[in-house]
Copies of this chain bind each other. A is one copy, B any other.
Amino acid sequence: MQKTRLDTARIRAARRVIDPLFLNTPLYRCEPLEPVMDCKVSIKLETANPVRSFKGRGAELVTEEVVANGGSALVCASAGNLGQALAWSGRRRGLDVKVVARRQAPPVKLERMRALGATLELVDGDFEQARERAVVLAQRDGVRLVEDSLDLSTCEGAATIGLELAESTSGFDTVLIALGGGALATGIGHVLRTLAPGVEVVCVQPKGAPALTLSWRRRQVVNTETMETIADGVAGRFPIPEVLQDLLLVADDAVLVEEESIVAGMRLLLEHAGLVVEPSAALGLAAVLEDRERFAGRHVVTIVCGSNVELEAYRGWAW
């Protein structure tokens, strides 16, 4: 295949850098979900770790790099999960971590970043304003800027999930991946394309924040004016051209789902899997719910990518 920016040998090597806490996460069939979904469902659980999302994998690589290059600080924009992960990984390496986040981000994500020692700067507006501000801060302070999905380590960290899937013997034929900035999808997609090319790679994004999906469909960057979704972890408006190029090479499909399907997916994960998840982690099930026929009889793996959810909001959605 045409080459993505990612490198499989480097992804394998990454497993020696990432704290084992974040690796070899549970992958298991969830039969109680199956009659509801009309297909076999396996869960890849990325929430049973100190930062409750898959972002620890990439954060470990990024912070290790900063240290290797003699740096002592980094700055990033984050919807909350990358910031937590960088704060966790940065703290154990003695790095100053500054995170620019939306003032409207779930308070639990902001609190957790602070508790892990990150310095927060809050901006009005959406994630794109946070990204712009992070660029300014990095230039002003001469500090390493971490750009989620553009920074290769964020993709290759996530890609280690792909290795674990490719090495499993669970016999799935489809993987459902939440699509935000694209690190998770290009990471897992790259590895599966390379090592398990028979597996269909399906990206799922909220209809209310569709920029990267629209871009994938038109094969060119499409920015959107606004966005509106409860899935705060995957909400962006300005896709990154390099990430789109990779995604075009590794994704079989990119689908958009309604908010009510995301809520239904969260409810099903609670009821049948006993899992409290954040909205972005329910995108995979939402995709199945909206197109049962397409997935009927298949064996899908859905990546449960995060559980940093505001409990009060969650109660409103899933209870």
A residues bordering B, Cβ < 8 Å?
21, 24-26, 28-32, 43, 45, 47-50, 52, 112, 115-116, 270-271, 274-276, 307-309, 311, 315, 319
Q: Which of B21, B32, B307 lies in contact with A112, CB distance below 8 A? A: B32
Using known A-B contacts A270-B276, A271-B311, A276-B274, determine if residue A29 contacts B50 with beta carbons closer than 8 Å. yes
Cα–Cα distance between A102 and B193 once the two chains are bound (Å): 50
On chain B, the residues within 8 Å of A116 by CB distance are 31
In the complex, are the beta carbons of A48 and B28 less than 8 A apart? Answer: yes
Cα–Cα distance between A309 and B47 once the two chains are bound (Å): 20
On chain B, the residues within 8 Å of A271 by CB distance are 311
Most buried by B among A28, A52, A270, A315: A28
8 contacts between A and B (CB under 8 A): A25-B26, A26-B49, A30-B50, A32-B112, A52-B274, A274-B308, A275-B276, A319-B319
A315, closest chain B residue (CB): B319
Most buried by B among A24, A49, A116: A49
Cα–Cα distance between A307 and B26 once the two chains are bound (Å): 15
In the complex, are the beta carbons of B50 and A28 less than 8 A apart? Answer: yes
In the complex, are the beta carbons of B50 and A48 less than 8 A apart? Answer: no
On chain B, the residues within 8 Å of A31 by CB distance are 50, 115-116
In the complex, are the beta carbons of A311 and B21 less than 8 A apart? Answer: no
On chain B, the residues within 8 Å of A315 by CB distance are 319
Q: Which of B115, B274, B309, B319 lies in contact with A307, CB distance below 8 A? A: B274
Cα–Cα distance between A315 and B267 once the two chains are bound (Å): 13
In the complex, are the beta carbons of B28 and A49 less than 8 A apart? Answer: yes
On chain B, the residues within 8 Å of A307 by CB distance are 274
In the complex, are the beta carbons of A24 and B21 less than 8 A apart? Answer: no
On chain B, the residues within 8 Å of A319 by CB distance are 315, 319
Cα–Cα distance between A179 and B185 once the two chains are bound (Å): 43
Cα–Cα distance between A167 and B21 once the two chains are bound (Å): 14
Most buried by B among A25, A275, A307: A275
Q: Which of B25, B28, B32 lies in contact with A21, CB distance below 8 A? A: B28
Cα–Cα distance between A25 and B45 once the two chains are bound (Å): 11
Q: Which 3 A-B pairs have the closest CB atoms?
A: A26-B48, A274-B307, A274-B276
Cα–Cα distance between A275 and B309 once the two chains are bound (Å): 12
Cα–Cα distance between A311 and B308 once the two chains are bound (Å): 21
On chain B, the residues within 8 Å of A29 by CB distance are 50
In the complex, are the beta carbons of A311 and B32 less than 8 A apart? Answer: no
Using known A-B contacts A26-B25, A319-B319, determine if residue A47 contacts B274 with beta carbons closer than 8 Å. yes
